[in-house]
Chain A
């Protein structure tokens, strides 16, 4: 039953706080934009939007994002402004002990702020549904079919024949020289997603799209790169936690012009159809190199072998339940690819004669497992 006047609190504090926050956020964005103040305002706005879409589907998602953003921004400004204005306007004056009008509600207002938001979300749902149907559509027969295999912690891209089943050739490396997913611009590309171990997710930010790679089921989606993207590369990354090497599961998508792609595709296909030269041609290996793998790493990152003579690699995989292998590449591409060994296990891989020089040996399952093979 106290009627003592309450002391007026320091209203300045909250206002000062809000101002400081605003300034800090602006500063952070300005700093992120490289302190170029002229461009930073524009970049601050741009940073609220996804990157420019590289695919037709991504463009549709971007258009939808823009509409949702427009409504969100309008509602945010309206409501946040209303809150701040109310708080500043209706502060209690010192010594003011009179009760404000005891309003318990207002039916018209309450119906309005139930019905109007319902209409807005119904509209947003409707346009989202429209876009979804179009983004999720899969053509009866896509021009290019690729099976993306995600495993801990590497992507491989298997190019499929028109039937969508026959495997033509595989891009063993997810990125870098000769690796990555090469695709033509302006054509429908269907991607089938498979995982032999845990759940991963295929995510390319510039596609504005991701889809989970779930063991036990094959997810698929389709995309068409914009014509003006030929020659560009897009970074992609696993987006679903898949273990200790989750963050290393990166890959690249290379956009090629139609003619470049056809030439590359033909070349790869021919290469895969050639029977590999019989290793060592029956000649006994001049040397056998020892190589161990444990904890997703080779025991050594340097090997030496004699030049112009066949040799062998005795490979021991000590990682229980994990597949490894040993492949050798140079600037021209992959030269040999040893047997897949699931640990614990071992194999002896014959290697044909190599010219003197430096080569890279690596595990096709784990991009971080590499070393230098010196042939002399």
Chain B
């Protein structure tokens, strides 16, 4: 069967493009997700370069006016979050979760395709704003009344396009979450009990619960704001009896759990990579699973820590909850470190990026304690300190995690290895650029530089650090060149990977690279969370199980 799968699809009327557009194969959809997310990553990165270029020196040099500036950072944040990090992780989940649990596909392959195709459409709507007199310009948080059509907000049709685009993307997220939940609960291979699932599957499971509970709330808020703007609703407009703080509550009720949506699967990827390259099991598997569930649960009771300065929330409760969520996060950090402890570390590129995640996410996590302390947050809120904090979590954490995962699973997805030297060059450049960009922002924030300002006075004393941050930003951009070159070269002539180049632990490495449609001809026996490790090192059961029945017949054709 593996051989038939490797035969190209039936020739004739089906072109390669047609195949990619109509596919319902979770692996192809996963690759589409990843490619689409990288596209938006580079676009949003260019927007960030615009922001950094403008802030390099005092004075408005690079951009013509503040309106353009507001569009740039609004779109940078929105696209990075909604069209890069969340879908990127969903894409990895899409590709890997069914393989990891020994399933032939996602539970609802067509819904899977639908949820992917909403993304480029939503992204297109967001970017169309630039052609229609200005993209959304009220920040990715889009607080009303500014995001209502207030004079001087210069928030035009781009804001409506932003709303509709995000409604599409939100719907895509919800459908994806349902698909993951059903897949994980109903389609695990025999022997794959919940507590034998790889940690990545656990994190995707918790993430899906978060998405399922929070995203509909956010989507309704988007619809309410759309009604406010276009059909005379007054939900969020205080001048006509609405409440501006209501939006913030609803927005953060989604957007704080969304932070965990953006970081939990990356944590899951790290938790797959560290054991493989340490040649040890994950330290404290169950504690890790409970910590993940704990973060998910606590994640719903901390949203108002984004609103400490509004004067409209009960501060001690949200402060306590925010402090407490540090505990399960700390548990994970120690689990990761002690996974490496007394291991035998192979410092390949995936592990380097994973270590980058650990060292940088640690800073982002510890910073959280400052924001959790309400009076300290009074000083830091809405300054560049917060910009530093969120980038240490989402870039230092999620993005390093994404690259770790990309280097780790690229051989499985394509059958070829990425170049190690280019990978290490990318890592070093990115690591330096990242710290040079975002570390100085802590200091800028403490000195009083607010977020989202297009310009600052030369007398404020912020010149040098802003210049450093801009240089760092361009260094990050430069680190993408070896990456792109690496992908380009390795796809054409990279070293052939084989089924299991890393001596890995989980089921996706038991099938060919890339896997055939419907994934497995047969599965090894699953007796722990590391079936392949057992297969490699176990004494009693060296052989594979007999071939599983051919399940492809039960599934719709035309993947």
Chain A residues close to B by CB (< 8 Å)? 1-2, 6, 9-11, 13-14, 16-18, 20-21, 24-25, 28, 31-32, 47-51, 58, 60-61, 64-65, 68-69, 71-72, 75-76, 79-80, 82-84, 86-87, 90-93, 96, 98-106, 109-110, 113-114, 117-118, 121-122, 124-125, 128-129, 131-132, 135-136, 152-153, 197-199, 201, 203, 205-206, 208-212, 214-217, 219-220, 235, 237-247, 250, 296, 319-322
Contacts and interface: CB of A to CB of B under 8 A. Distances in A.
Nearest to A234: B448
A102 B500 contact: no
Interface in B325-349: 326-327, 330-331, 333-335, 337-338, 340-348
Nearest to A28: B468
B464 A17 contact: no
Interface in B363-400: 363, 366-367, 369-370, 372-376, 378-379, 381-383
B243 A241 contact: no
Contacts, number: 334
B71 to A, nearest CB: 10
Interface stretch (B119-127, B158-166, B423-431): B423-431
Contacts of A87: 340, 345, 347, 355
Contact of B536 (A1, A10, A49): A1
B117 interface: no
A296 B154 CA distance: 12
Contacts of B285: 104-105
Nearest to B428: A17
Contact of B327 (A117, A199, A240): A117
6 contacts: A58-B379, A91-B347, A109-B338, A203-B383, A215-B239, A244-B152
Contact-residue size bin, chain B (C-beta under 8 Å from the other chain): 35 or more
A151 B525 CA distance: 68
A90 B315 CA distance: 45
Interface of B: 65-67, 70, 138-139, 143, 145-146, 150-154, 238-239, 242-245, 278-281, 283-287, 309-312, 315-316, 319-320, 323-324, 326-327, 330-331, 333-335, 337-338, 340-348, 352, 355, 358-359, 362-363, 366-367, 369-370, 372-376, 378-379, 381-383, 420, 424, 427-428, 431-432, 435-436, 439-440, 442-443, 446-448, 450-457, 460, 464-465, 468, 498, 500, 503, 535-537
**Ranked 3 nearest A-B pairs via Cβ:** A216-B238, A205-B448, A247-B453
Given A68-B373, A198-B153, A216 B243 contact: yes
A125 B443 CA distance: 24
A1 B326 CA distance: 40
| Secondary structure type dominating chain A contacts | mixed
A264 B454 CA distance: 36
B66 A245 contact: yes
Contacts of B154: 243-244
Contacts of A32: 440, 443, 464-465, 468
A238 B465 contact: no
Contacts of A84: 359
A100 B342 contact: yes
> Which residue among A16, A48, A69, A121 has the maximum number of chain B CB atoms within 10 Å of its CB?
A121
